Structure 1
Amino acid sequence: MEITLTLTPGKLSNPDADLRYTIPEMVEKLSNNKMKDNGFDYDDEDNMVIFLSSESLDQEQAIDSVKVVCKNLQLETEAIKIEASV
C-alpha cells in the first residue's frame, strides 16, 4: 500500500522544504519502521508530494500515523491531503 501526502505550501505557515525528510523520518519512527519513505515529488501546482509505503499496516493505521505526525508538526489541516492506494 502507498500513502500519498500532498502539502500545499501557500497554506502552510512555515513551508519548509525539509518537511520532505522530516515527515517520512517521523512516520517511520512512529510506525516502528512499518512505513517507509518512498520518495517525493512536486505536482503541476508546485505542491510537495511525499510518498510512503507499507506492507504490514492496514490503510487506516497508515493514514492515522501520517495524521499524527502532521499534527505533531502543527501543520495546518487545510494544507495537507492524505490518500491511500493499494
Structure 2
Amino acid sequence: LDVIRDKWNDILDALERKDRVIWMAFFDARLAELDGDTLILDFSDSRKFGTVHEFSEARARHTQVLKETIAEHLGAALEIVER
C-alpha cells in the first residue's frame, strides 16, 4: 500500500490528463487497504457529493481507467473495491 500511496498523486495527475471527470470521481478517495491484488478505496468523506454528483452510471468505466492508470505507473494489475 505504501508504494501505491507514494505514486497516488502521479496516478491522479495522469487520470486528470486522461479524463477530468474520472479524476473528479477518484480525487478524494482514501487508499484504505491493499488485500492481495485488490485495492480498497474508501469514499466515506466524499458522500457529501452523492446527491448532486452521482457517478454510479459511469463508475465501471471510471474504475477501468483507474486500473489501467495504476498499471501504467506501478506495473501491477489491481482490482478496485469501493466502500
Could you state the TM-score of these two structures normalised by the residue count of structure 1?
A: 0.43
More helix by share: 2
Which structure features the higher share of strand residues?
A: 1
Higher relative contact order (CA 8 A, sep 6+): 1
TM-score when scaled to structure 2?
0.43
